[in-house]
Amino acid sequence: MAEQRLDVEADERINAARLETFPYEYAGSDAVVAIDTDEFTAVCPWSGLPDFGRLKVRYVPRERVLELKSFKYYLHSYRNVGIYQEHAANRILEDLVAATAPRWMELELDYNIRGGVHTTVTVRWPRAGRES
């Protein structure tokens, strides 16, 4: 029996332009903003099978705050994109940093178990050796 592969979309489908922000009126305050959702989904680039995960973002805004509805639409653009789990975490972090220019940001993508294997990917900005 031949292995079935489902169609996947390329990462060009990811729509970072959907991310919107608003001014942070307390720029001197190091308030930690925490956002999480258990509705993140993309697909495996090899098989096309869905990957579901819980996404957690923590950051301290500098001058811009992430608008949550736009974040939800942005995440939805991953729905049929074939992307490795590690790449998804890094891409989301890069897009969020570009949109918000935070003091620091941490993102954790905790995937559901698939095939008996559990994966959690954590990425941070600024990365080691970079200034914020």
Whether 51 is a known active-site residue: answer yes
Q: Produce one character per residue of 97-110: b if its CB has 16 or more CB atoms within 10 Å, e if not.
A: bebbebbebbbbbb
Q: Which of 7, 30, 44, 110 is catalytic?
A: 44
- Residue 24's Cα: distance from chain center in Å? 21
Q: Of 34, 24, 13, 32, which is closest to residue 100 (Cα–Cα)?
A: 24
Whether 44 is a known active-site residue: answer yes
d(CA 52, CA 97): 23
Amino acid at 28: G
Q: Which of 30, 51, 95, 110 is catalytic?
A: 51
Give the residue numbers annotated as catalytic, written as ranges.
44, 51
